[in-house]
Chain A
Amino acid sequence: MFRFFLRRVALTLPTFVALMFVTFVAVRLVPGDPIEARTGERGIAPERLAQLRHELGLDQPVWRQFLDYANGIVHGDFGVSIVTKTPVLQEFAVLFPATLELAFCALIFAVVLGIPAGVLAAVKRGSVFDHAVMTVALTGYSMPIFWWGLLLIMFMSEYLGLTPVSGRMDLINYYFEPVTGFMLIDSILSGQEGAFGAAAAHLVLPSIVLGTIPLAVIARMTRSSMLEVLGEDYVRTARAKGLSPLRVVGLHALRNALIPVVTVIGLQTGTLLAGAVLTETIFAWPGVGKWLIESIARRDYPALQGGIMLISGIVIVVNLIVDLTYVAINPRIRHGG
């Protein structure tokens, strides 16, 4: 178990190095540079330009810039935002809870709906329910996030008036200082009546939008995994014991069917954080995704590089955790086969 852990951790190191390189290059492939982005068409005096470029280190050869950046990251320094002059890590730490809260709720939505839907579809394979679930799943998977988000806003917020259009909180009625950064928790801590409800209402649409693709993937994966497991000999053994169908399907089959599903859920963290960029932009959600989009517009190299590195790092760590969960579910791995 410990050796498995060490090997798995060691495998992430090359990924980080490659990631560092790719983000550095990709950020510089975007036309324009931070100074142009700020001066716009007005132009700037050549001496001032040279001075600014020197201050930002952009007059250095590219390889030199890369080494400085890599050296910083290795020492835990993600640089300072060109625009806000605050350390990237500090900005990220303020914004990330918003993204995490959204991603978490989206994942809960996807899991809570996706697994039962997949199980039922497998048990009732070939039925109307099965076809309906799989059609909806395919539609959800294929739908562009931004379009789906706008549709929901139009229908739920504009037409039905059920949910807020955007943002994290109803700031006219409630105000409280962030404690944890998670609006759901902070709203309870604030003790203001109705604050939690308002925070939850703001989360509904973004969570649905962000959770749709993971929901579709989880439902389809659960169904196919379940179909495979239901044909296994040990499921027949469980039936032969006279156990209730609920126990046969929900315990004996599902426990085995979940093993690949957990892996898929882990892989969805990448989808969730990538999807958060679009979702946050649509819903004006003050999270990391929206910040990254803004940083692209400003050509804020350190913010982009640092932000992408941090997000990628989180995805890698989550996948590591998923691999370890996998071990916990599946005793064949736990005991070294």
Chain B
Amino acid sequence: MKEPLLSIRNLSVTFATSRGPFKAVDGVDLDVAEGELVAIVGESGSGKSVAMLAVMGLLPWTAKVSADRLAFGNRDLLTLSARERRKIIGHDIAMIFQEPMSSLNPCFTVGFQIREAMAAHLDLSSAERQKRAVELLDLVGIPEPERRLKAFPHQLSGGMSQRVMIAMALACSPKLIIADEPTTALDVTIQAQILDLLLRLQKESGVGLVLITHDMGVVAETSQRVCVQYAGQQIEMQGTRGLFADPHHPYTAALLDALPERASGRLLPSIPGVVPGLADRPAGCLFSPRCRFATDTCRTVPPSRASAALGLALCHYPLKDGVPQHREFAL
């Protein structure tokens, strides 16, 4: 594997709430290499967005971020001053958000908002910035770019807005793009277009891409590697093909079983229960109340991480070909 662009070890994010600290992200590890496409999947509230916002340094002040390592290239993001960090954010790492309509500032034109990122990081004249902005809109498939640059966000559709967000992210030719559920807020027909656009641009520019999604179908079509998150914990990580062929964590297996494409019976299988909240966290494995393989050990002892061969599964009894393994045998 190439030298990773982004390297995260044991990332945790804790929010101070009125009912005490809430650990939204708990021990996430992730490496993303140049040109690689890594997907992070999980339900709402599994901490996938929060983990990436922590990388960007965009969390509110109530959040406390800690990690053994949080590095971009050879630069440690944890110890960097805010000013130094802003030179990386928006320049080398860009982010695309879930809600394109509300992510653009309603008071400024599209062109202003695209050129602004270039003005902050690149040494270009205003004519060059304008020229590049036109090229960028053209690149993301917006017709009549010159005219669109003068448009205000409310004059654009959701799909158009997301294209603008993508153009904005690409403005400074970043090395890494984090896309946080970029298609969730869009119409189904537009979703495929935006996803195709992202993939094409990623392939053409060789940029690293972290795709946050809850859509297993998108994962299967796009990514090389998958990281599965549950209740803030990273519970499995392996190559996409391997994950779909032989999921090692019972949660991953249950997620895959719930895919309509894979269902065999008349009823679509579902995972009973909900993600535990702040108050009802189980003592042992966080997934144990919903896991059909759970034992007393699972309910009382927090699991440790399994080997890479078992998808780094955070499970006492990782699955192999759908059968729970005792870790003694597995290792």
Question: In the complex the two chains form, what is the Cα distance from A335 to B102 in whole Å?
Answer: 18
Q: Which of B103-123 contact A (CB under 8 A)?
A: 103-108, 113, 116-117, 120-121
Question: Complex: how many Å from CA A234 to CA B117?
Answer: 13
Q: State A256–B102 Cα separation when bound (angstroms).
A: 13
List, in ascending order, chain B residues with CB within 8 A of A337's CB.
Answer: 154
A329-B107, A332-B152 known; A241 vs B90 contact (CB < 8 Å): yes
Least CB distance from B297 to A in Å reads 42
Query: Are A236's CB and B106's CB within 8 A?
Result: no
From B91, B103, B106, A332 is in contact (CB under 8 Å) with B106
Contact with B along A227-240 (1 / 0, CB 8 A): 00000111011111
- CB of A243 closer than 8 Å to a CB of B: yes
**Contacting residues, chain A, for B131 (C-beta < 8 A):** none
Query: With A and B bound together, what is the CA distance between A114 and B102 in angstroms?
Result: 28
How far is the CB of A332 from the nearest CB of chain B, in Å? 5
Cα A239 to Cα B168 in complex, Å, equals 13
B87, B90, B106, B121: the one contacting A240 at CB < 8 Å is: B90
Complex formed: what's the CA distance from A234 to B104 in Å?
Answer: 5
CB proximity to B under 8 Å, residues A48-67: none
Bound Cα distance A267, B113 (Å): 32
- Verify if A242 is at the interface (C-beta below 8 Å from B): yes
B104's contact among A237, A244, A255, A332, by CB below 8 Å, is which?
Answer: A237
Nearest CB in chain B to that of A331: its residue: B152
1/0 per position for B79-96, CB-CB distance to A under 8 A?
000000011111100110
With a cutoff of 8 Å between Cβ atoms, the chain B residues found around residue A236 in the complex are 58, 97, 103
A291 → B minimal CB distance (Å): 43
Q: Are B90 and A243 in contact (CB under 8 A)?
A: yes
Task: Collect the chain A residues with CB atoms within 8 Å of residue B102's CB.
Answer: 232-234
Query: What residues on A are CB-neighbors of B94 within 8 Å?
Result: 240
Q: A233-B99, A241-B116, A337-B154 are in contact. Are A331 and B107 (CB under 8 A)?
A: yes
Cα of A337 to Cα of B165 in the assembled complex, Å: 21
User: Which listed residue (A233, A238, A240, A332) contacts B154, Cβ 8 A?
Assistant: A332
B116 contact set on A, CB distance < 8 A? 241, 243
Residue of B91, B95, B155 near A335 (CB, 8 A) is: B155
Per-position binary interface string of chain A over residues 252-264, scored 1 when its CB falls under 8 Å from any chain B CB and 0 otherwise: 1001100000000
B65 at the binding interface (Cβ < 8 Å): no
> Is B56 an interface position by the 8 A CB rule?
yes
For the complex, give the distance between the alpha carbons of A337 and B154 in Å.
8
In the assembled complex, which residues on chain A have CB atoms less than 8 Å from the CB atom of B104? 234, 237
Q: How large is the interface on A (under 10, 10 to 19, 20 to 34, 35 or more residues)?
A: 20 to 34
Q: How far is the CA of A238 from the CA of B58 in the complex (A)?
A: 10
**Distance in angstroms between the alpha carbons of A252 and B105 in the assembled complex:** 7
For residue B103, which residues in chain A have a CB less than 8 angstroms away from its CB?
233-234, 236-237
Given contacts A331-B107, A335-B155, contact A240 B88 (CB under 8 A): no
Smallest distance from the beta carbon of A327 to chain B beta carbons, Å?
A: 13
Contact B152 A335 (CB under 8 A): yes
A64 to chain B, nearest CB (A): 55
| Nearest chain B CB to A62 CB, angstrom units | 53
B152: A residues at CB distance < 8 A = 331-332, 335
* Alpha-carbon distance between A238 and B102 when the two chains are bound, in angstroms: 12
| CB contact between A331 and one of B58, B97, B106, B117 (< 8 Å): that residue | B106
- A241 touching B154 by the CB < 8 A rule? no
State whether B107 touches A242 (Cβ < 8 A): no
- Within the complex, which residue of B56, B87, B105 is in contact with A234, where a contact is CB–CB below 8 Å? B105
Residue from A232, A234, A332, A337 whose CB has the most chain B CB atoms within 10 Å: A234
Tell me, in angstroms, the Cα distance from A332 to B102 when the chains sit together: 13
CB distance from A328 to the nearest CB of B (A): 11
Contact A239 B107 (CB under 8 A): no
Digitize B143-168: 1 where CB-to-A-CB distance is under 8 Å, 0 elsewhere.
00000000010110000000001001
Residues from chain A with a CB closer than 8 A to the CB of B95 are 240
The answer for the CA separation of A217 and B91 in the assembled complex, in Å, is 40
A330 to chain B, nearest CB (A): 7
Partner of A256, one of B90, B107, B168: B107
Of residues 215 to 249 in B, which have CB atoms within 8 Å of A's CB atoms? none
Are A242's CB and B105's CB within 8 A? no
- Residues on B with beta carbons closer than 8 Å to the beta carbon of A244: 86
Q: A234-B105, A242-B91 are in contact. List 13 more A-B contacts (CB 8 A).
A: A234-B102, A237-B113, A237-B165, A241-B89, A241-B90, A241-B117, A241-B168, A243-B86, A252-B107, A331-B152, A332-B152, A332-B154, A335-B155
Residues of B within 8 A of A (CB): 56, 58, 86-91, 94-95, 97, 99, 102-108, 113, 116-117, 120-121, 152, 154-155, 165, 168
Return the 5 tightest CB-CB contacts between A and B, nearest first.
A242-B90, A241-B90, A242-B89, A234-B105, A233-B102
Q: Please name 12 pairs of A and B residues whose Cβ atoms are closer than 8 Å in the assembled complex, sorted by A.
A: A234-B102, A236-B97, A237-B104, A240-B90, A240-B95, A241-B117, A252-B108, A256-B105, A256-B106, A329-B107, A330-B107, A332-B152
By a beta-carbon cutoff of 8 Å, the part of chain A in contact with chain B is 232-234, 236-244, 252, 255-256, 329-332, 335, 337
